[in-house]
Amino acid sequence: MIPIDAPIEIKKISECFPPKDTNHLGGISDGLRYRTVFGGSSLEQSYGMLRQFLSEEGYEDLPLPADAAALKLFRHPSKKKAIKLFEEYGYIHYPIKIFFHPHLSKEHTLILYIYNKNTNQSLLHFHDRL
């Protein structure tokens, strides 16, 4: 029997990826990727929450845009790329993707995907090649 005052150990996503069809800390995992949403009253607030979440889950060493203004630069493709319908744009750096919500009414909402680095062909899944 576990004592009532015993601390509950919750493993970080980077250490123990959530299994398929599980809810974890407000997000959903399919075993290959974990998806969660951050919606604050401003993009700055949403991005701050997302950065804090990544840090707490063991991804503090990933290079990320310095602030919400820098993240906003990833909202649209570069001027050399044509805009494609239904394509998601945002910041990607293996194993994470940060997308902006597609509806303008939710412009402060960010969608975070974390890919399971321990699965077969994880990098191909990350780049949507499988």
HEC string for 37-87: EEECCCHHHHHHHHHHHHHHCCCCCCCCCCCHHHHHCCCCCCCCCCCCCCC
**Cα separation of 66 and 100, whole Å?**
16
Predicted local confidence at residue 130, as pLDDT: 82
For the chain, what is the radius of gyration of the CA atoms?
Answer: 16
Strand partners, 99: 90, 111
Q: Give the chain's residues under pLDDT 70.
A: 1-10, 77-87, 104-105
| Burial annotation 84-105 (CB, 10 A radius, 16+ → b, else e) | eeeeeebbbeebbbbbbbeeee
Q: Report the run of H or E that residue 125 belongs to, with start and end.
A: helix 122-126
Q: Which residue has the tokens 């412009």?
A: 107
Computed from CA positions of residues 88, 128, 14, 11, in that sequence, does the dihedral angle turn out positive or negative? positive
At 29-61, the pLDDT tens digits run 999 999 999 999 999 999 999 999 999 999 999
Lookup: tokens for 32:
């290959």
pTM (predicted TM-score):
0.85
